[in-house]
Each structure stands twice: as structure tokens, then as C-alpha cells.
Amino acid sequence: MPAFYLENTKLKLLFVKEMENNFYRDDFEQMLKDTTEEFRMYPSRKVWHSIYNDLHPDRKWPSFAVCLLLLTAILYIGIANNNNISKTAVPLIATTLNAGLQSTAPVYNNLPGNNNYQYKNNATNLVQKNRQVILLASQEAATNNQSSNQQETGTLPATISGEIVSANDRYNSLTSGIFAPAVLEKTNSTSLEKSFNISTVPVVNDILNESITEQDVMKANSPGSSVNGNEDAAVMAETSMSDELQVAADNKFPSTTQLSEHSLSVGEKAWIEDFAFHNLRNPGKWKTNLSFQYYITPSIGYRHLNKNNGFEPVNGSLIRTNGDDEVTQQAAPNFEAGAVMVLGLSKRLKMKSGLQFNLTKYNTYAHDLQHPTQTTVPMNDSRSGNLRHEYYNTTYGNVLGSNLSKLNNQTLQLSLPIGIDYRVAGNDKIKWFMGAGIQPSYIMSGNAYLISSDNKNFVQDDAMLRKWNASATVETFVSIKTPSGIDINVGPQLRYQLLSTYSKRYSYTEKLYNFGVKIGVTKKL
Amino acid sequence: MTEELMLAGSIKNNAAAQEELYNRFSPRMLGVCYRFAKNREDAEDMLQEGFIKVFTQLHQYRNEGALEGWIRRIVVHTCINILKKNKKFSESVDLIHAKGIHIREDMIPSIMQAKQVVECIRILPLGYRTVLNLYAIEGFSHKEIGTLLDIEESTSRSQYTRAKAMLEEILVKKNIIHKSRKNNFGNASSR
């Protein structure tokens, strides 16, 4: 078939379609089409940045770098906070037991037949408590001095400057509407008026009631759009702003200094207030950015035990290496379960917080002893940092004994997880996220089995568990959207406990870590 | 930069060419999105998705018809797809739920000219607004609208009639059109 014939047919079809359109299109539709045809709005710059990031994912490395830096910072802060004991401890003094304390301490070798029964040296505790009171009082005084100094110097100016900055930002954001480049609407008002009697009289009042954002400031350039009457505050605003509109039309943008030097007239202030009133953030947007997520993370939990006071086991123990080697231990199943609210901060970044229960657990193995045996546990003197040994009675042996018992070292925690998720890649249906978080936790209950000074025994003392702790998590997961609109999240998680399980008094530091798989369900609110 | 260079560059994933194309067409396309969207932020989301599709499908553009028309078609379809994900939307295009809708005087915005008309369109119920946008402004037929929105052609027609009546009422209230003219618009929605 000849090419010109095809071309001709195509033209005919187009012509027929156009005729049909014209035939059926009534005046009203034509008016709507004409009026809205030239309507333009200028998108914010972030739209292009998002498009650019989607089109050129290989150039997004700075975002990765920032993510990594953030994660490293969180981990570093955690690790740095954990080194307090060892850094503040004074060099170790000889670990021989104090003869005086020994003489005042009754030794109970024939205790009731309860296997778990333990006894602490009361005299030692009493002396220790008195010392702690004095120490706490002096620390409190020092803290008060420090905080009052901070108030006088650092804190107050910082607050003031913060307010100045935010006030400036607010001013700039509002005034930017005045000085933004005018968007010219090429509406052919003359023809419209001719055809449909379009009225353009209440122009100025309409500007005041503008409900579109500051970027859409438009200039009425049609002949019929001049101001007729209505000499109210709006007119004043319009008149006083005429210079700025001229500047905008000329694409000359005054600097911030110029803006701050420019004294606002009553009309301008009224306009700004009105503008702010009509451009309040859409309250529904928060809701649309908010999701509810509940999840469970089964994991394998383990621990790392380390001395924090550089002591060597007394009585020539057979085992002198690090804490982990001194104990027969085994990883155990852990889990965390919780619910969080997720707030979308941007297209890629989400922040989340909520409540979570953690069960941490690992097992150590001990031999049952026939009779309760007295042993000592290494403790840090809270005042001097020196090592001292507290007496306990126990029926658990680490080296010698008969049957092997499994000791459940576990804690039940209530946490307040706070975290961020960053969308690395994905589309509407499937997304890949990387996340990090911190979990301040309250230890509700738990069992603590402490290794003795000579590494030959275990002692149960649940009171040695720290009441408050914190963990850091790093995770990556894939989020899959189901047809019902619910997102299912699955991915690996690493959880690391930032503070020792035990209180600072104990000369060992225990850090728990978990490797798990987080499974979550997210629903948009 | 000429349109040909801009097109060729954009197809080759050249960032400068893509930005040029975006800068040239985004203001008008955002105006289109704004008529469909609930607010400006949603409109920008639609625009973003639309332009990503435009850039990823640009190699399919055959120079048949204006580039702007091609881009506009993709953007409109993107808007509809995004709207269709919203559960409320499917309810709002259903006629049963559209009965008894009245526009209060205080809901009508006071803006000027094109913006005035656009804002008046935007205060229509979602279903009405979408059908009206597609039929009266974007030039879709009721059959096409029916396919696009998964509704009957007759539903689209009725939605449009109601939308048109409501919009006329609003425009009269705002003195954008006069009553005498309103009656002259007639009912020629038979495309």
C-alpha cells in the first residue's frame, strides 16, 4: 500500500475525530479546557531530586555513606559507654582477703539443705554501702555544680540562638511566597469574558484567600483583572507588595539581609499571617505517613564475657584466660516481639518507635556439688575501683562435681525501640530497607549466674542484674506489599547489648548479642 | 537545547537532558496532577511517579504527535493508577455513594481566573472530579473512562452529568459564570 495513501487515511481519521470532538464538545467543556489548559504549578526541587535518584541509583553513594556513618556512630557510642569501668579503675591492689573482714564475717558451712541458697558477707556489704552513700553525695554535689555552670554558660545561649534561627527560617519561608517568581497564567480572559461573562473583580480578596502554596503566586495580567473598589486591608497589602512583585517579575531575588532590613508594613504582616493561616500543613498528611507495625524476631542469643578489672583468678586457678574460655556455655533461642508506629519522614527515610518485649537467653553448664561450698565473687569497689571479693555459698561447680546442670541465664526486658529505616531500592510492590535502632530496656526479671573469683564455681545472684540497659540493632529487610495493602517485612537482624548485663560492681562485663530474623507486618493508618 | 537533542539525551540517560525535559514540562504536568490530587503534596508524588515512567518509557516514543501530549497521557494514567490504589476512590466513583452530596458555600475557594476554576474543580467529590477531568479536560470518552476506572460507561456518563451540574453551581456562586450562561451550556456529554 502506498505510503501517501496511509498518510492520507490517517489525516482523514484525525480530521473526523476532531470534527466529532468539536461537535460534541459544548461551550462549558470548552471553557473548562481553555481555562485549565495553561494552568501551571512549579514543583519543589525535591521532586526532581527524587526522580534523579530513581533514574541514577549508582550516584546515590553519599546516602549509603551517611547511613554507614550513622550506624558506626551508634555502635561507637555504645562501645565507648561500656568502657567506663575499666577506664576509671585504679591499678589493682593485692587481692588477698582482708583479715579484719574475715574475722567479722561469720562463715556458714552448714547451711540449710537448699541447693540454691547463698549467703553474702553482711559486714562487707555494710561497709560498702556506707562508702557508697558518701561517694554518691559527693558525686551529686559535683553534678549539681556542673549543671549550674552549664546553665550559666552553654545551655541558655544555645536555646536563644535556636529560637533566632527558627524564627528566621519561619520568616524566610513565609516571605519567600512574596518574592517567589511570579507564575504567569496565560489565560485568555478577554475571550472567556466574551463567551461566558467571566468575572475577575474580586481578585485582591481572592489573593488573600489563596489556598495554593507560595510557589504558585500568580500575576493577573488580563485586562479585566484590575482592582475595582474593595479598598480594605487586602488592597493595602497588594499596594505595599507591588515593589516586591515587581522584583519577582524581574527575577531579582533580595538576599536574606535585605529581607531582614526591610521593615514590614501592617498590610504585609496581615498578608503574611493570612498566608500562613491558609498554608497550614495538611493534618491528614501525618496520618497518611503513619503506619503501624508489629513484629517478632526469633534469634540465637549468645554472650561475650570479659574482665573489666584486669584481675587474675585467685588460688592458682587452672583457667586463666578470658571469661568466655572459663565457662562451658551454649547459645539459646531468644526472641523479641513488639509493636511500633512508623512515621515516613521522606520518601526513603522512616522513623519508628514503640514498645517491645525481649527474652534474652543463653545456657551455661555447671556440675552439681553434693554440699554447699563457700566461694568468693570478684567485685569492684565502687569508690576506689579496687578489687575485692564477696563471699557466697553455692552448689554449682565449674570444674569439679557430679551431674552436669544447665543454667538458664535469661532476662525478660521491656524496651522502647527507636529506629530509622532507609529505603535503599525498590518499587511499589517490593522494597529493600536498611535500618538501625537503639533500644533502652528495663529488665523486669532474670537469672544471673556469676563465675567465682577462682573460676571454680557459679553463684546465682539475680540482684546483680542491671535494671536498665540498652541495645543497638542493625537490620536489613525486604518489604513486600500484599494485594490487601499490608506490607510484610522479612530480614536479618543483629542485636548487640551496649551495657553489661551485670551491675558495675561485678568484675566481669557481659555483652549479649543476637542473630535473628525479623518478621513484621506493617499497615498504613 | 532542541527537543530532538533533549529527547536523544534523555533516552541515553543523560542527566542534563532529563532535567531540561523535566523543567520544560513539569509545571504544566503538575497542574494536571493537581486537578486529580487531594493536595499539592499528593500532586507532586503523582508528578514524580509520572516522570519516572516517562523517562523509563521514553525510548517507546515514536515522534507521532506532540511530545507534551505523550507525556500528558502517561501522567494522567499515573494519576489514575495512584487514585485507584486508594480504597476511598473506588467507593467515590460508585454512584450509590455519590447521592446527596452538597457543596457548602464556605467550601468554595476564592482564587482568580484559571486557578479559580481549577480550585472549583478540586472541591468536587473525588469521583466526580476524576470523571470530569478525564472527560471534559483530558478528552477521554465515557467508554475509555469506564475501562480506565473499572466502571460502567453509563456510570461515567451519570457521574459526569452530576459533576458538571455541581461545578456549574459552584462557578455561578463564585460569579465566574452567570446564571443565564449556565442554562446555555446544555447537555452534550455524548462522546
Residues composing chain A? 525
Tell me, what's the pLDDT at A286?
A: 54
pLDDT at A347 over 70: yes
DSSP H helices in chain B: 3-11, 15-36, 40-57, 67-85, 87-92, 95-98, 113-122, 126-132, 142-149, 153-173, 179-184
Q: How far apart are the first and last CA of chain B?
A: 39
Residue entry with cell 504527535: B65
Q: Is the ipTM of this complex over 0.90?
A: no
Among candidate residues A406, A381, A386, A387, the one with its CA nearest the CA of residue A396: A406
Q: With contact defined as beta carbons under 8 Å apart, do A518 and A475 qualify?
A: yes
More confident residue, A437 or A403: A437
Which amino acid, B164? K
In the structure grid, which three cell numbers stand for residue A388, read together? 575485692
pLDDT, one tens digit per residue, over A15-72 is: 444 444 444 457 778 878 887 887 888 888 888 888 888 888 765 555 566 666 777 7
pLDDT at A243 over 50: no
Of A28, A52, A206, the CB nearest to B164: A28
Say how far residue A117 (Cα) sits from the centre of its chain: 44
Q: Which of left, alpha, beta for A315 (phi over 0: left; psi -120 to 50: alpha)?
A: left
Residue entry with cell 511566597: A177
Residues of chain A in contact with residue B189, where contact means CB-CB under 8 angstroms, are 24, 26, 29
Decide: helix, strand or coil at residue A491. strand
Of B31, B39, B55, the CB nearest to A39: B31
Which of A28, A190, A215, A288 has the highest number of chain B CBs within 10 A, making it the mutation to test binding with B? Answer: A28
Tell me, what's the pLDDT at A94?
A: 36
What is d(CA A234, CA A273) in angstroms, rounded to the nearest whole number?
Answer: 12
H or E element at residue A413: strand A404-415
pLDDT, one tens digit per residue, over A499-515 is: 999 988 888 889 999 99
pLDDT at A238 over 60: no
More confident residue, A49 or A262: A49
Which of B53, B87, B113 has the highest number of chain A CBs within 10 A, making it the mutation to test binding with A? Answer: B113
**Cβ <8 Å between A32 and B136:** yes
- Mean model confidence pLDDT for chain A: 66
Q: Is A185 on the interface with B (CB under 8 A)?
A: yes
Of A197, A207, A282, the CB nearest to B177: A197
CB neighbour burial string for B131-166, b if at least 16 within 10 angstroms, e if fewer:
bbbbbbbbbbbbebbbebbebeeebbbbbbebbbeb
* Structure confidence at residue A387 as a pLDDT band (50, 70, 90): confident
What is d(CA B171, CA B168) in angstroms, rounded to the nearest whole number?
Answer: 5
* Structure confidence at residue A465 as a pLDDT band (50, 70, 90): very high
pLDDT tens for the 191 residues of chain B, in order: 788 888 889 988 888 899 999 999 999 999 999 988 888 888 999 999 999 999 998 888 887 778 889 999 999 999 988 888 876 666 665 544 444 555 555 554 444 567 888 888 888 888 888 999 999 888 899 999 988 888 888 888 888 888 888 888 888 887 777 665 555 544 444 55
**pTM, rounded to two decimals:** 0.39
In the structure grid, which three cell numbers stand for residue B116, read together? 479559580
Q: With contact defined as beta carbons under 8 Å apart, do A132 and A383 qualify?
A: yes
Tell me, what's the pLDDT at A25?
A: 56
Q: Is A51 on the interface with B (CB under 8 A)?
A: yes
User: For every residue of A176-221, which 3-state class applies, written as one string?
Assistant: HHHHCCCEECCCCHHHHHHHHCCCCCCHHHHHHCCCCCHHHCEECC
Q: With contact defined as beta carbons under 8 Å apart, do A353 and A340 qualify?
A: yes
Mean pLDDT on A398-425: 87
Q: How many CA atoms lie within 13 A of A431 on its CB side?
A: 21
